[in-house]
Structure 1
Amino acid sequence: MDRDEELLRGRVYGADHDDPRRSPRQGRDYAELVGGPLDGLLLDITGWTAADMDAGVVLETELGRFGGGGRAVYDPRPGDPTRLDWSGDAP
């Protein structure tokens, strides 16, 4: 694991590296992003419905194949609502 990957682990997607709230907070629900450029980050899914989870997510990232302005696509892992698996990058 390189330094960038190490810094991302255990951090909530969308939080700045110097944000004191970048770690998970009590009373919130999170899904782990597995694989791809956002591997190891947590996504706040508090209040999401089953339909929201089934739809998966497309998240902006500068780390993927398309660099700045690119997106990483994550789909729900069957049988495990706490994990979203990377399925590719999009422009």
Structure 2
Amino acid sequence: MDEQEFMRGRVYGADHDDAGPRPGRTYAQLVGGPLDGLLLDMTDRSDGPSGEQVALVTEMGRYGPGGRALYAPRPSDGRRYDWRGDVP
């Protein structure tokens, strides 16, 4: 199993031992870019699943450790956040 396949269905930022989705939580799917296939927990975000762009820390993006991948909600489906690029 390669790294991308391993990460699918996992929650961004969750502990590796308990990275699956939890009942009662709201998630958006990250689409494209270095975090493709991960789920973003939107439960405690005031903007909800259809909010503004988010910058998520990742070691796999263009800028390596400490860089961020930008994701924005898809206009037609706020449960999916599309990759917009990487920033330092």
Q: Deviations over 1:15-50 (max 9, x none)?
A: 233x2x200000000000000000000000013344
Gap regions ≥5 residues in structure 2: none
| Identity across the alignment (%) | 59
Larger proportion of helix: 1
- Tell me, which stretches of 5 or more residues in structure 1 are unaligned? none
1-side partners of 2:2 and 2:26: how far apart? Answer: 27
**Alpha-carbon distance change, 77 to 38 in structure 1, aligned in 2, over 3 angstroms:** same
Deviation at 1:54, TM superposition (A): 2.7
Q: 1:36 aligned to 33, 38, 51, which one?
A: 33
What SS does structure 2 have at the residue aligned with 1:7? helix
| Residue of structure 2 aligned with 1:71, choices 64, 68, 71 | 68
TM-score w.r.t. structure 1 length? 0.88
Which residue number corresponds to residue 19 of structure 2?
22
Tell me which amino acid in the other structure corresponds to 1:11: R
In the other structure, the counterpart of 1:4 is: 3
| Separation in structure 2 between the aligned mates of residue 12 and residue 48 of structure 1, nearest angstrom | 15
Q: How large is the RMSD of aligned CA atoms in angstroms? A: 1.7
